[in-house]
Structure 1
Amino acid sequence: MVAAADVALSYRGTPVLAGIDLAVRGGEAVALLGPNGAGKTSLMRLLAGRLSPTAGTVRAGGGDPFRSRAARRAIGWVPQEIALYGRLTVRENLDVFARLAGLKRTERAAAVERAVALAGLDAVAGDLVGLLSGGYQRRTNIAVALLAGPALVLLDEPTQGIDRVARAAIHGVLEGLRRDGTAILIATHDFAEAERLADRVLVLHGGRIGLDGRLADLLAALRAGPPEHEVALDDAPGSAGAEALRRAGFEPAGPLIWHRGPRAPGAGPQRDGAALLAHLRRQGVPVREIRVREPGLDALYLDAIRAREAAAP
């Protein structure tokens, strides 16, 4: 649905993205992860045709989305900010944005009703947007992107600042789009959200892609090794205890919590939490308990970030 080849982007001479190669296919849900400042929003704005690359090419629907209106109509863009008119109803907002998108007069009413249905907004379609909850406002934001029936939807942090119920409703909307064959690229900081929605993950750091692969395959490979461990302490470990924890591969994750990922130095093949507990207590570490769990997307993410940082000049 969209492809980028050797794409680079600079702002006023400062590199933001470099050497980006990716393709998103129909019916594919891709999670885009990365720390603040990694270039996620810039990459999505490039793919949506809101920016033009400094180098390389972006193609969507057979054209350049920055120069081709037809190519842009194949892409729905959902920004992080709520971009709606608070004094208009949901349906009136959608009609305005349908006009701005260039939909013909004969197409607009049907497009608005289709977007209302897809985003699950029937119950509030006649309500003023400014009086809606944050969750309904974000769903209306998504509905705007669906007006032209895009083949690809790009979403930048679509569930930021909303409660669990509203988040689940938005996930339901996105899962429905994917079942219908729409491609989805979602930038998020929420690992649980990414694991639920995505079948592929991209990690962006320092303007470059550090990881790109099918989530199930990446997790299967990771889980073939040692598990993750989390140590809960009764008291501060002191310098000797902290050194013992670090030798065992742990890093501080809170005042009395230390964490060890599956690929941490010192993790080794040991999977027995009881043996690890005994070992640390013999070293004088005031351990209350050790929690053992299968590694998840957060571990893949940390591995990718560390690898990119190690490769950086």
Structure 2
Amino acid sequence: MIAKGTRGIMNELVELLVNFINTKIEQSLHDFKKEISELPGKGQGVSPEELERMLDVLKQNGEADKGYLVEAMARLGGIEEEWANISDQVSLIASFLKICGDFCDYNGFFIFKGGGASCYDATLHKVFPQKGMTVAVERFNEPMTLADSPLPDEIKDQFSGISDVYVLPLTLKFKPAGFVLTVLSESGLLDFMKTVVSLMSRELTLMPYKAKALLGRSTAETEKIPSVQSKSSTGSRASISSIGMESPLERAIRYAKLLASEIKLYNEKAVNRGLQEGGIRKLLSVDIERSYNSFRERFPNSEEIPDRIFDEALIQYVADGNADLL
């Protein structure tokens, strides 16, 4: 196997993931900026150079009095910082809905489950879908109008006569994970919403890296094995770029957590059964073996990186801390 650089294989994987998702986000930003550039100025057009300067000023000073599109762009500039310190999905979704609520008349956050989707949370409304509602719908990964979407007619009928209703897909690790059902307050805000949803998909995808790898406390940490904390004693947040400074042991702990999180993510029914009946290792033998082999390919030195690093990640993330269930 070819040796990797000092930054570490884990760092490279995270960077590739971020770069791949950012490609889509940058395209949405490009389309959004283009739409703003076509807005008429006072008596004359706005040049691309003037637009860029205006956007820079807005991002720095938070001025949002140039119209709803520019206000949205200014809001977009602060999302990255606002979400930087969020490490759980509940808080992230709440923040997402609050941001979107400033520019939309309604938003429903749906998660695909089985052969349908469940509304995790939504803007309060007497008619539109609310938290806990389930709908039968096939998974999709392209943004579209509600009329063109695969959502059932009973949902479409609730929005009859209302314009600018869209369904925007959410992805998790590049796979359809859900969608946002939104009613725009202004038709020109579609690209803004696409960008925010893309950012949300990125945050959801990186959550296992940011939250579980950075914030998780494994048995190994209890035994004083070095691990990476998300916050220092002063409360500053650890950045993804700091991964390259970790030791091989720290990278192994991080990677084991990631593998265990993925096992649980993609085997929810089997994991729940194992949590009730025990025998998780037998129920998930194929996935656990595959993940262990991947772990050993990355860290072949069993003396430096013992098997217990992988086992402790399974106990923490798959068996909910109960080793007897394995």
State the TM-score bracket (shorter-chain normalisation).
under 0.3
Q: TM-score, length-normalised on structure 1?
A: 0.23
Structure with the higher helix share, 1 or 2: 2
Q: Which is bigger in relative contact order (C-alpha 8 A, separation at least 6)? A: 1
Structure with the higher strand share, 1 or 2: 1
Q: TM-score, length-normalised on structure 2?
A: 0.23
